[in-house]
Structure 1
Amino acid sequence: MGTADHRHSGRESQGWLRGAPPPRWVRVLPPALLVAVCTAELLSRYPLDIGFLLGAIPSLAVLSYGPVATAVFGAVVIVFLYVPPLQLNHPGNTDLLTITFVAILSVAISLVRSRRDAHLVTVRTVAEAAQLAVLPPLPERVGPVRCTTFYRAAQRETLVGGDFFDVRAGPYGVRAVMGDVQGHGLSAVSTVASLLGAFRETVLDQGDLKSAAARLDRRLVVDSARTAHAELFATALLLEFSADADEVRVTSCGHPHPFLLRDGKAVELVLEPGAPLGLGFFDISPPQICTVPLERGDRLFLGSDGVSEARDATGAFYPLAERLTTLAQVRSADLTDRLWEDLLRFCTAVRDDVTMLVLTPSARGERG
């Protein structure tokens, strides 16, 4: 049972107007129009007076061809205007100058577009590398825990938003975190990076979950103090599996509760959450630790509020517990995909980051 690590740019096509390669039909338009006009003139007994359509060919070529190909289309159009059998109206000087000007302008635009596209590719590659460094794909297995993840940032063209997650093995066992920071998109990336860095340190040097949560809270409080009126805060859910994966300890700092998938049912683990991180209330309202015994075949589903608080057109919340029970027999690698498809049918306009994490504890020698 492997990971299913999905990200926004991977799951959904960007669209060719947003920088993706143009579809095939766009590339076919210039030669198709050229052939269509010439064929119509050759088959007609009388001049059709449609030679002006050839002037659009260089402009269409700009959408999908480079400057050299665009120049070739422009030259071909000018030559075809003077081929006698085509009877393309024998254009006068004004028509010829107009079409020549359009062709030259199209070449210039194509040159600018090609350079812009090359720059965008470079920028996108660097951005993806930086974002993936902040939130890298999880391995298939971390110690005795198998991991399946789904992540979709709310802001278009980004890989990282306000949600974050990680699963790490350390001297105190396998720990997992899922959280949601204030805000969405690139403005939240620095906070996500800071909290993930703090979590990875706690895996190594904090002996219990409450201390780990306190470290995350302190990290966010310190970051907020650097900026006036920053008002940074985050919710988080932390889990710690025992060495033989027969129990899990869970604590919540204002994050939606996890679900235990057992015997074809989805049971919400009701916790006593503490205050969200970064508000300065950790000592006043610390999170409580809940210990849950695990059986063979159990799975834990963690979801962000982009799932649990999604609404349909009438304002009704997405029935997560009901849908998880319906899909409880689906293997983990497909569960997140099926749930995402169902969420889109329920709420076609998803405006929040959506994160799903399925954790399957098993003995180390068990094959998954």
Structure 2
Amino acid sequence: MTGDDASGVDEATRAARAAWIGAVGGPLLPRWLRVVPVALFVVVGALTPVAPRWLQVATLLAALPPMAGLLYGPLVTALFGAAVLVALSQPTTEPHVSGGDLAAVAVMSSFGVVVAWFRSRYTRNLVVFRSVAEAAQRAVLPPLPPRVGSGPGAVRCAALYRPALRPALVGGDLYDVRDGPHGVRVLVGDVRGHGVEAVGTVASLLGAFREAVLDEPDLGGVAGRLMRRLAVDARRNRSRGEEVDTELFATAVLLEVARDGRAVRVASLGHPPPLLLSDGRTRELAPPPAPPLGVVSPGVALSAMAAPLRPGDVLLAYTDGVTEARDSNGAFFPLLERLAARPWEGEATAASRPGAGYGRWPSDRWPGRRAGPRSGSGSAAGAPAAAWSGPPRPPEPAALVASVGRELSAFAPKLADDVTLLAILPEAAPGA
């Protein structure tokens, strides 16, 4: 059993105990809601001795046992029922509370305990199912290691991912960084659709990529594996005879860092081109265009471009959810402009956290937000590069994706598409 699996079991056990003893909803209910029954009991208890006798304030306590049954576990609900019966039996409640009234409150208290018992059982099952689902989703898209590869061709890497469906961990985007006999290879892709229906395609493509990294000598072969995998999945869907969407396609960008770390090869299949942050400037690496996966038949030749790498160069790949994010005025997120502002400075703490990037999305605001035109969204090669003033300062991958993610979250708090950012920093220096 892995650490993630063990933590999921521990969470389910803690949730089961909390559901029986304390709040049934656990993490599913806001904390302030649990205080309402206690506050009502205290307020009614304080008002009963001083309120006019005709006001019958104490009768409000009859609502507490059913309310506790919806918010707490069976044990706490039973204690609330007993406390209400004791409070209504006091002389201050006479003559408005009769024996029949007490019997009715006792019945309602028993009903609240039964409701709390059923809710505690369903909550326990929900927590277990959610823990299993999270473990399965993390198995499909596990956290990236901070360093991939060995020798001159090793890279430091980090990623940030935010599905369009907030509760989910995996949606329609995919990414991976793998070392193989031909160098470190990177995949960033975007499957048609998002949510649960896209997870199966994401898992298939990631599996095909991980095998191709070990077997294929060039990026064209890797892309061919991905095309065949998608074609097989589409045929399987058609053969089911069910009402399923058989139109499967995905965009992807592939990168390959040479064994000596001095060059990178890039191939794109309908995907936004990656960015190269080099010597104080940011430019797009736009290889010859190719249609997305699933649009053309497997075996179509794929052209890749090569670009030299200098010490401190950083590569940033992303999905179109980044550049197509809009603010409240409808303006697109200006990725190149924000990179020119060096937003990663001051992100050293975020970069040093273990596993920084995976499953976390910055939510605090950046000051002075301004709308800008759509940038870095697949324009042709030769587009003007964005530059920043001052001496070049290459960012760490974790600091880079954390800072861009923070500004994107502030620019467009509600995203319509999945968002992925992946940065790699080759460790080798020419001549070293």
Q: Over residues 52-93 of structure 1, what are the superposed CA-to-partner deviations in whole Å (9 max), with x where a residue is unaligned?
A: 221222233234321121011011101110112x43654124
Q: Which residues in structure 2 correspond to 1:62-101 (within 5 Å)?
A: 62-84=69-91, 86-87=92-93, 90-101=96-107
Identify the residue that residue 372 of structure 2 maps to in structure 1. Answer: none
Identify the residue that residue 361 of structure 2 maps to in structure 1. Answer: none
Name the CA shift for 1:324/1:287 in 2 (closer, same or farther; >3 Å): farther
Percent pairwise identity: 48
Once the 2 structures are TM-superposed, how far is the Cα of residue 18 of structure 1 from its aligned partner? 8.5
Identify the residue that residue 306 of structure 2 maps to in structure 1. Answer: 291
Identify the residue that residue 355 of structure 2 maps to in structure 1. Answer: none
| Residues 1:223 and 2:233 aligned together | yes
Equivalents in 1 of 2:136, 2:29: separation in Å? 26
Once the 2 structures are TM-superposed, how far is the Cα of residue 359 of structure 1 from its aligned partner? 0.8
SS of match in other structure, 1:169? strand
Contact 1:41 1:48 in 2 (8 A): no
Q: Over residues 272-309 of structure 1, what are the superposed CA-to-partner deviations in whole Å (9 max), with x where a residue is unaligned?
A: 2211011224555x432111111111111111111011
Identify the residue that residue 284 of structure 2 maps to in structure 1. Answer: 268
Q: Which residues in structure 2 correspond to 1:121-160 (within 5 Å)?
A: 121-143=127-149, 144-160=154-170
Once the 2 structures are TM-superposed, how far is the Cα of residue 214 of structure 1 from its aligned partner? 1.1
Name the CA shift for 1:244/1:81 in 2 (closer, same or farther; >3 Å): same
Equivalents in 2 of 1:45, 1:329: separation in Å? 65
Equivalents in 1 of 2:279, 2:54: separation in Å? 77
SS of match in other structure, 1:260? strand
Identify the residue that residue 117 of structure 1 maps to in structure 2. Answer: 123
Identify the residue that residue 236 of structure 1 maps to in structure 2. Answer: 252
| Residues 1:352 and 2:362 aligned together | no
Give the AA of the match of 2:419.
Answer: V
SS of match in other structure, 1:20? helix
Give the AA of the match of 1:22.
Answer: L
Once the 2 structures are TM-superposed, how far is the Cα of residue 259 of structure 1 from its aligned partner? 0.8
SS of match in other structure, 2:237? coil
| Residues 1:311 and 2:326 aligned together | yes
Contact 2:24 2:71 in 1 (8 A): no
Give the AA of the match of 1:123.
Answer: F
Identify the residue that residue 179 of structure 2 maps to in structure 1. Answer: 169
Contact 1:182 1:233 in 2 (8 A): yes
Give the AA of the match of 1:346.
Answer: F
Give the AA of the match of 1:355.
Answer: T
Equivalents in 2 of 1:95, 1:46: separation in Å? 17
SS of match in other structure, 1:42? coil
Equivalents in 2 of 1:265, 1:17: separation in Å? 54
- Higher alpha-carbon deviation: 215-224 or 332-341: 332-341
Once the 2 structures are TM-superposed, how far is the Cα of residue 37 of structure 1 from its aligned partner? 1.1
Give the AA of the match of 2:47.
Answer: A
Once the 2 structures are TM-superposed, how far is the Cα of residue 163 of structure 1 from its aligned partner? 0.4
Equivalents in 1 of 2:207, 2:25: separation in Å? 33
SS of match in other structure, 1:139? coil
TM-score by length of 2: 0.75
Once the 2 structures are TM-superposed, how far is the Cα of residue 154 of structure 1 from its aligned partner? 1.3
SS of match in other structure, 1:168? strand
Equivalents in 1 of 2:48, 2:90: separation in Å? 11
Once the 2 structures are TM-superposed, how far is the Cα of residue 21 of structure 1 from its aligned partner? 4.6
TM-score by length of 1: 0.87
Q: Give aligned pairs, total.
A: 347
Once the 2 structures are TM-superposed, how far is the Cα of residue 44 of structure 1 from its aligned partner? 4.8
Give the AA of the match of 1:73.
Answer: F
Q: Over residues 206-247 of structure 1, what are the superposed CA-to-partner deviations in whole Å (9 max), with x where a residue is unaligned?
A: 000111111111111121112226111111110000112111
Q: Over residues 157-181 of structure 1, what are the superposed CA-to-partner deviations in whole Å (9 max), with x where a residue is unaligned?
A: 2111110000000111100100011
CA RMSD of aligned residues (A): 2.3
Identify the residue that residue 39 of structure 1 maps to in structure 2. Answer: 46
Name the CA shift for 1:23/1:311 in 2 (closer, same or farther; >3 Å): closer
Equivalents in 2 of 1:19, 1:184: separation in Å? 28
Equivalents in 2 of 1:129, 1:362: separation in Å? 32
Structure 2's unaligned 5+ residue stretches are 1-22, 239-244, 346-394
Equivalents in 1 of 2:400, 2:343: separation in Å? 8
Identify the residue that residue 327 of structure 1 maps to in structure 2. Answer: 342
Give the AA of the match of 2:320.
Answer: D
